Amino acid sequence: MILIAIKRQLTLLVTILLCAAPALAEPVTVTDDDDREVTLDRPAERIVSLAPHITEVLFAVGAGDKLVGVTQHSDFPPEAEMIPRVGGYSRIDLERVVEMDPDLVVAWRSGNSSSQIERLRDLGLNVYVSEPRSFEGVASSMRRMAQLAGTEEHGEEAVQAFLDEIETLRLDYADRDPVPLFYQVWEQPLMTVNDEHLISEAIRLCGGDNVFGHLDRLVPRMDREAVIDADPEVIIGGGMGEDRPDWVIAWEQWEDMTAVQRDNLFFIPPSLLQRHTPRIAEGTRLMCEELERARQRRTD
């Protein structure tokens, strides 16, 4: 009788496992930012990230332990620095990516080479393309990457925390007087962002007015004379690193500019504004605080 009972229990256990197996292996389908459907037979277990901000988002949604390859400058969180590299985001080592045998590659539309992205697809790899242009776009990217990695619960917690931070800032800085602003994203060549860029949503939330937001290109190249002629009230720069405000300091020689006269030259660490990650909420808070200082200096 005992033997029969044990056999029945084993049979029941096997049946449960067999019934559960298909659920664990259900396909996952999402639409990426190139409007392409990406379908995986099951949530990804081996992921290659082709940009630092993508690496950061995958960690944020609980999928960091699934990363087998990342690009250079993937430095947040610190654990990301231990993951093998597949080149820089502008030039990927395709052979290295293939050798890693990923079941998912996450690419950056405006940063990675379009020909290399297509080559990865031609090689039979599943490629998801990311290109958020708004705070809601960041949240949507987080949700979709969590879905692809099978970490939806963790991902949704991260999404809600991010959106709550943004909403708090929106309420705090609503209806503030506009502040004409130049945001410097690069030095050589001199570059800024237009109104379609995610950074410009941060500018608008804080009550800033991007003086070059009307330009056609997402990341326009500028000449310094155009900035001087625009005479922004504030200049914000990202610099070459997290603690190097060299680019902002360089504007001090143009003493007739309003931003220089009022000491409205501000530095914000680039990883907090120039990466499409949840940490842009922190960068936006810093920007809002700097623009508020500029408003106060109008009457000082």
CATH of the domain at 53: 3.40.50.1980
Largest CA distance in the chain: 97
| 167 within some domain | no
Burial of 145 per CB tally in 10 Å (0-12, 13-18, 19+): buried
Helix (H, G, I), strand (E, B) or coil at 98: helix
Q: Do residues 54 and 122 share a domain?
A: yes
| 236 within some domain | yes
Each of the 300 residues of the chain gets a pLDDT tens digit; together they read 444 444 455 444 444 444 444 445 589 999 999 999 999 999 999 999 999 999 999 999 999 999 999 999 999 999 999 999 999 878 899 999 999 999 999 999 988 989 999 999 999 999 999 999 899 999 999 999 999 999 999 999 999 999 999 999 999 998 899 999 999 998 889 999 999 999 999 999 999 999 999 999 999 998 999 999 999 999 998 765 555 677 788 899 999 999 999 999 999 998 899 889 999 999 999 999 999 999 999 875
Q: Do residues 138 and 256 share a domain?
A: no
Q: Cα separation of 84 and 102, whole Å?
A: 13
| 4 within some domain | no
Q: Tell me which of 107, 137, 160 is where a domain ends.
A: 160
| 186 within some domain | yes
The amino acid that residue 265 corresponds to is L
**What values do phi and psi take at 257, rounded to 5?**
-75, 145
pLDDT at 111: 85
pTM assigned to the model: 0.84
Nearest to 90 by CA among 70, 110, 75, 120: 110
Give the CB-side neighbour count of residue 191, counting CA atoms within 13 A. 14
Q: Cα separation of 219 and 204, whole Å?
A: 17
| 67 within some domain | yes
pLDDT at 23: 46
Q: Do residues 193 and 239 share a domain?
A: yes
Q: Which residues pair with 92 in a beta bridge?
A: 87
Q: Do residues 113 and 182 share a domain?
A: no
pLDDT at 300: 59
Q: Do residues 61 and 185 share a domain?
A: no
Q: Do residues 138 and 226 share a domain?
A: no
| 199 within some domain | yes
Q: Do residues 151 and 186 share a domain?
A: no
Q: Do residues 292 and 236 share a domain?
A: yes
| 3 within some domain | no
Determine the structural domain holding residue 291 and report its residue range. 175-296
Q: Tell me which of 126, 160, 194 is where a domain ends.
A: 160
Number of H helices and number of E strands within the chain?
A: 11, 12
Q: Do residues 96 and 31 share a domain?
A: yes
Q: Do residues 37 and 156 share a domain?
A: yes
| 2 within some domain | no
C-alpha gyration radius of the chain:
23
Q: Tell me which of 112, 133, 160 is where a domain ends.
A: 160
129 with 32: CB under 8 angstroms? yes
The amino acid that residue 108 corresponds to is W
Q: Do residues 289 and 213 share a domain?
A: yes
Q: Do residues 52 and 155 share a domain?
A: yes
Domain count, the chain: 2
